[in-house]
Amino acid sequence: MATIQWFPGHMAKALRQIREQMSLVDIVFELVDARLPYSSLNPEIKKAMGDKPHVLIMTKLDLADNNITNDWINYFTDHGLPVIAVDSRDRKVASIVTKKAQEVLSDKIAKNEDKGLSKRAIRAMCVGVPNVGKSTLLNHLVKRNVANTGNRPGVTTGQQWLRLSSNLELLDTPGVLWPKFQTQEIGVKLALSGTIKDSLFPKDDVALFAIHHIRQVNSGVIRERYHLSEDQLSPDLSDADVLLAITTKIGFKDDYDRASERIIFDLRKGKLGRISLESPQELEEIDDD
């Protein structure tokens, strides 16, 4: 498998700015993809935050398995990390986010009131990896199109302050990755989810990972989507055999790259159902080894 990594100069600059601006905010909202909440947690952002109050916001709920999302919420809560899962299109998302911020900062707010300090809006920084849905969420939070949106990494290119209400101000930041992924599996998951530019990774490697994962959790969706027979999805066949069958079935002859692109696209768009790419149980199994 080819090495997948992406940390261009503009991300290094953005990460440096995040560190510099951290003292200006009361709290950090870190957005993660609900399909891969662990792999989309940026360790460099964690370092930059220090002991700053922190809320994890899980996005793209409509693409993730509901039960596994609930498992992740319980996992992060058990590890002392405030977390909310939101649908960016939900009209109530602004009140949900504001309420969580006030809850996490309740002690600080109470102390300021005791000191007779005038009440001001909570200042929050919004961070996350590229294409995690930050711009979409922010546009719904402020109820107008203030952040460019697009289904590709790198749409937000600079920092900007956004006023959500009299109670909350947000500092938006560009999506950033980190210099070296802990494992190549993390890189593959990020590529599969759309966090890494498509031109920077081998499509067949990522598609084979997707096929392998889906065969383990629900092989039926592959059969239904690509009209494969039971024999073409036999456990005795390799993932490469299944990719070959899909390539032939959808009329791409021996163009495996094109078929791989179709599989990746279908997973990203939810055409293969609601699929989570990792679970807390997998982390626990790794810790036990």
Q: What's the rounded Cα separation, in Å, for the pair 101 and 167?
A: 10
Residue 50 in tokens: 């220090």
Taking alpha carbons only, the member of 166, 159, 165, 156 closest to residue 136 is 156
Q: 132 among the known binding-site residues?
A: yes
Contact (Cβ atoms closer than 8 angstroms) between residue 177 and residue 129: yes
Q: 131 among the known binding-site residues?
A: yes
Contact (Cβ atoms closer than 8 angstroms) between residue 126 and residue 93: no
Q: 136 among the known binding-site residues?
A: yes
Transcribe 269-284 into DSSP letters.
TTTT-S--S--HHHHH
Q: HSE (CB half, 13 Å, CA atoms) of 178?
A: 18
192-217 b/e (C-beta count within 10 Å ≥ 16 → b): bbbbbeeeebbbbbbbbbbbebbbee
Q: 219 among the known binding-site residues?
A: no
Q: 135 among the known binding-site residues?
A: yes
Query: For the chain, where are the alpha helices, taking DSSP H only?
Result: 9-21, 43-49, 66-78, 93-104, 106-114, 134-142, 184-193, 203-218, 220-226, 239-249, 256-268, 280-288
Q: What's the helix, strand, coil split of the chain in %, to 5?
A: 50, 10, 40
Question: What residue numbers does the annotated binding site for GTP cover?
Answer: 131-136, 175
Question: What residue numbers does the annotated binding site cover?
Answer: 131-136, 175
